[in-house]
Structure 1
Amino acid sequence: MSQSGDALVKLEGVYKHFPIKQGIFFKKEIGRVHAVDGVDLEVRRGETLGIVGESGCGKSTLARCITGLHPITKGRILFEGQDIGNKPGKQFRRDVQMIFQDPYGSLNPRRRVGSIIGDPFDIHGTASGAERKRRVQELMELVGLNPEHYNRFPAEFSGGQRQRIGVARALALKPKLIVCDEPVSALDVSIQAQVINLLKDLQDELGLTYIFIAHDLSVVRYVSNRVAVMYLGKIGETADGEELYERPRHPYTNALLSAASVADPDAAEQRDRIVLIGDVPSPINPPSGCRFHPRCPKAQETCVGEVPELIARPGDPADHLTACHFPVEAGEHLARETAAIEQLSTEPTLPSA
């Protein structure tokens, strides 16, 4: 996967709040869900940016804001230097596509696969009739499906095959950016491997840029050039994949890595798990200061009153940014914990697609 400094997408102070209203005839706003709360992020052309975090941290909402499915409350989203605002143009709709999490719910069960994959051609008026059918069958072959199954319904395909249908639909208009919202979480492990390898092969062949959202840290490391860690609507840390996994600086990132699955049972027994106390606070009433301070083992008074900046800390590379007043130091990593984390550095054994 290539990686350049050219920013394809740039987020500047992006907020997405969902109003909570009460009443029958005259609805009154009584609160807001702070789903995304001031995110600064960039996605470089040709790379895969992984986004990780607990359920409810705002990953999927951020993805839908980037694709224009959710209007943002405040901030700017720049695509190739142009502010797309809350009314993305037709060209943006062609250049940015999404692969959804659920391969069963994202396909209309009453429509044939050829019609589903061919919808982008109809909507944008780029192909019709025999030409449309030819392009759809080419896409099916590209993602590893039998073109002769053009007239089948989604129910006649397995979960992995349905996700390949979603990939084919996303590729129809030759997009520049594809947002993958947990595309393998609903699939069996062996099928996950096939879909992941397919995405990597397509990226190399077509020069695609990905935003890859997932819970599985080993998968994120395998597919991503850079990784951003989200917590309660904010970015806590972002860095090159290898740098972040080998030297996490945010206490939350450190805790996530300590809880990640490890293939070697001996390493799993030896490592020290970092157990976070308490539940994730409500996004309706997020904590003051650092969002993570109620659960952070390193929290001090400063963390309660001051919001930490997302900046490069002393001794870190310029693109390793951490939003923490008291980041984790290298000496705080126990040898056996580091050995367990290193298990994540090896590429998982993934069968070819």
Structure 2
Amino acid sequence: MDQEAKIIFYKIEECGYYKFRSNDHVYGDINLFLSDLKEWSSSRNTKDTKLFEPEQGSYQHPIYLADLKNNEHNDWVVVLWNEVPTSDGNVMSLPGLKKVGNATLNLSSVGPDDIPGFPTFFWFISDSNLIATINMNHSYGGKSGMNKYIYDFIKYHTPYAKHTKSEDSLKKNVVAYLTPSNNELLKLKSNLKISPIRILGNHEKIINSANEIARITTKAELNALTKNTKALWQKVTDFFEVKNYSIPTKEKVRFESSFEVNLTEKAVREIIQGWEEDGGIDSGKDYGFEFKKNLGKKLWLGESFLKTSFNLNFPVKDFSNLNANHLLHALDTHKKHILEIVPKEFKIKESQKKIEEKPQISYEKLNKKST
């Protein structure tokens, strides 16, 4: 049975270890780090793959690695598991004591070692430095959580990170990184910059015609399953000036409101910047602008990004399919057609220093050296 997948593309602009002052790239790419993540997670239970605790007041979820697979083309599918409080009601859960890639979902009650939550799916096309979020059924993109997860792995948990003792098992005190060729220790900084591929169009039209804007429509679609927190609902209801509200129990809730405006170019730029800082296309919110000479026709900010929909042979009823290998095969089958919408310049991988060989150092040895 085919399943419609909504696919949003992102470009990896920076990935790896860099010099502090010049910001010159020294080594590392996404294929290397995903290979390291695969090795690091191969003997771990799911509950042992959490890499960070969300900051207080943030809308981020604790994230675990559910599965990851690659093929001969160095394409990857990564499935992350986003934890939610058990107080959210009847939610599915992932067994925390199962090995990564071997867990099956529990769709009924949450056991003592289970992790309640929901999955997010990502497709890495490493030879082009492209990433795509794969949104199916009731899932959502989750790009910001994935960005944080991969970044923290690169910074703290690769076999190249040399750290001193720390009381925080997640945020270790990194003092240097091992080079791939001779295990020389260098003081470097880690970085991972992932940006949406924006098509020139709506944003520029909206900014250039700021004084012609007559009305703005704001809309938000929030998934109670994924972001069911009092703080977030407070923010959204404040945004739409809803005075009395309760946390919804149905899966999706939509808000929409329109109002007349008189905006300057500066104000429009601030609206766009605020939307992007809040997660942009991945935030669940969008702004539509109507102009005085064309009322009724809206230009949406979210329509300026490279995205598509495609039917994949990957059934995900009730999120029950977490098999990264199945999804990777489904994507690879249609890869050529899916990537037809990606402009040629984004398919070319920026030149980076190539890794001649991986450091011959294991996680076990590294842990002994770090104590």
- What TM-score results when the alignment is normalised by the length of structure 2? 0.28
Richer in helix (by share): 1
Work out which structure has the larger RCO, using CA pairs closer than 8 Å and 6 or more positions apart in sequence: 2
State TM-score, norm by structure 1: 0.29
